[in-house]
Amino acid sequence: MEYKRALLMSEAASEHAFTSLVLGTRNARKLREMAGLIAPPWEPKRRAAGLAVRSLLDFEEAAAPDVVEDAADFAGNARKKASETARALGSWVLADDSGLAVDALGGAPGVLSARYAGRHGDDEANNRKLIAALRDVPDVDRGAAYVCVLALADPSGAIRVETEGRCRGRIAHAPRGSNGFGYDPYFVIPEYHQTYGELSPLVKARLSHRARAFEHLRIPLERLLTC
C-alpha cells in the first residue's frame, strides 16, 4: 500500500470562506464513499463534520456541465474537474480522478479506467477486457495499484489542496465478492487475501486508495476551514 501526502497550494487565508462543499461527481457509488470519508467516525471531531455536503446530483447538468476528462494523468483530470465545476457553480468543489494501473499493461487502463472497453461506466465490459489482456500473465506479474487523486478548488477555480492515495495489490483470475464497483472484485489485497469486492465497507474505508487520499486531505481542509 502506498500514498502521497497532501499538497497545500496556498498558505494564505482564503478569500472565500465556506460552510458547504460540492462533491464533483454524479456517480452515486463514488459519492457514497467520498461523503463518508470527509469526516469519518474514527477521526477526531473536526470542522469538516459541519460542512453541508452536496454533489452534482443536486444540480441540473446545465448549471454544472460534465467536464471532459482529457488530461494525461489522474492529477490533471482531478484539477480540471474541480476547477471548471467550481467556477460554474461559484462554490467550493472537491473532485477526484481515480483508476487502476496494472504493471504488466504499462499502467493501463489508467485514466481510461472507467471507459477502458469503450463505453463509460460499463464495469462488466471493462473487466472482461482487463482479464483478457492478462490471460497469459502469471500471478507473480499481475501486480497493480489503485490510484486516487483529490483536488479541492475554491469558487474562483483555484486549486487549494491536492492529495494522492495509492493501494497496491494484484489482479485475480476470477471475480470474488459483490461489494464495491469497477474493478473491485478482481483487485486482491495480499495482506488480507481478499479482493476489494470481499472486504467490508468499513475495512475498505480504512485502507483503500480513496481512503488514503482523504486521510491526507483532512488536515489541509481543516486549516482552510479555520481561516
Kindly list the catalytic residues. 97
DSSP E strand stretches across 76-120: 93-102
Is residue 31 a contact partner of residue 190, using CB atoms and an 8 Å limit? no
Angstrom distance (rounded) from CA 73 to CA 216 = 20
Is residue 221 a contact partner of residue 152, using CB atoms and an 8 Å limit? yes
The vertex-43 CA angle with 201 and 7, nearest 5°, equals 95
**164, three cell numbers:** 494522492
